[in-house]
Chain A
Amino acid sequence: MSVSRLIVAAVLFLAFAMASCFTERGDEGELLYGRHCASCHLENGEGLRGVIPPLVNSDYVEKNRDILACLLRKGISGTITVNGKQYNQAMPGNQQLTEADLTNIINYLHKEFKSPKQRVSFGEIREQMRNCP
């Protein structure tokens, strides 16, 4: 009786421990976003009025879905148009981001800010990074 209860407890404990592992993996995108993106685009992805473009429902992100990982790693300079407004502040590149990091960040953008509209896969990002413009 007590032994079987002990086993149940142990299994439950393990399940919880594992679950916390998985959630931490799931939060990777959020952590990376916080570290590399949020100081300019802000936690809510709204950017800074007129200066830093928003990431929420961004048509620019959607249009550039196929080179998004390249842009995150190499940065952007010059004027771009986002949701009908022009922005000219340069975005610094992030050479240290791995393909896995880029995948996690882009899927975080998809989940939180609805752009890009579709998730990306690791394979897709790996392929994209080989053909950066």
Chain B
Amino acid sequence: MIRISGQHYMRLFAVSVVVMLLVLQTGCWSRKEIETLAFVMASGVDFAEMPNRIMLTAQIAKPKALAAAAMGGSDLERAVWTVSSTGNTIFEAIRHLARQSSRRAFFAHSQWVILGEDVARAGINNVLDAYERDPESRAGAKLAVVKDGKASDFLQTESELESIGAEAYLGILDDASEALSTVVDVDIHEFFKVMASEGIEPVAVRVEIIDRLPDVDVRGQMEQSCISTAPRISGAAVFKDRMLVGWLDEAETRGYNWVRGRVKGSVLTIEDPKEDGQYMTIAILGADSSIEVEMKDDRPVAKVRIQAEANFGETQHMVGRTEDSNLLAKAIIRRFAEAIRQEVHQAIDKAQEEYGSDIFGFGQAIHRKYPKVWKNLRSNWNDDGFKKLNVTVEVKTKIRQIGLVEINLPESR
């Protein structure tokens, strides 16, 4: 039988004391109590007034105001605090926030990085490094450029539904990409990934500041809202060589999304094949795409194949199970495909002619299939090869359901 002597007890005691001291020695290293943090929901980068200075704007959530709003208290108090600081670099500017913030700016929940247009035009090379390098920043944060505006102004915009701006922007982005596909959904991680790849140029979210219209209440009276500006998200910002070169409008953005296979859902309005001046709307359910490249006469040619499925959404003219419904359906499908092709060509043309930026990744496809050919093309791809690239678009469409409605209006007899 093993008997534990006094010496053993001493040793046991000593060991446990050492273990406890070891744990306590760390002194709660890197501990940060939640109430000592200022949760930055979105941050924006602009040029400061002084030359060569960067202004960083942080949209910081105010938990107290959020709690008050949740308790049913007044939501007059804004739930976010927008604060700016300047510095020679972004990192410095972030640290300079400490001059104004009683809590440590915590970027791990920052969901947006927003660039002013001038910053984006000047080149994002020296801007985004801080976001890439900092372990605290989220790779999933969306990257956006403010069209004709400053990031700090955009971060001041307010939404009626969400108390935190960043949440509102996220909601808009999600909703728009599900319902319209006229936006691009790009986060920092993807942006960097594309930027680092050959033969493809990145795009970013395009955001705008719009004037907030006064509310009209049910009695038709105008009501001055305290909200003056509101966010709007649509289109895309096109980059080339790490600089903003221009924008895609909504239709072009959807054209871009068709090529990239990113259309999740949208509506497309086409002219009625039977009645002039009448329109019908098609609800797109989803799409697939592929880019194929081939060598023709020692020059690459590209072919984009798009398959789209849709439901019949609305018609301004009766569509019934008439004798020619088959013909009609074929006509609709044809027009539908035509509409898609047009959008795609719009987008490609703009990228080729105006911006000279291969945002679709045709170069990447050539790189993958013909690496040897790519070696000769890569040096001047955007300005030469891509511009001269012959792209054909092939669209296959399918209407799943036209609905059970036989006619949309009772015919007057």
Pairing of A with B: no
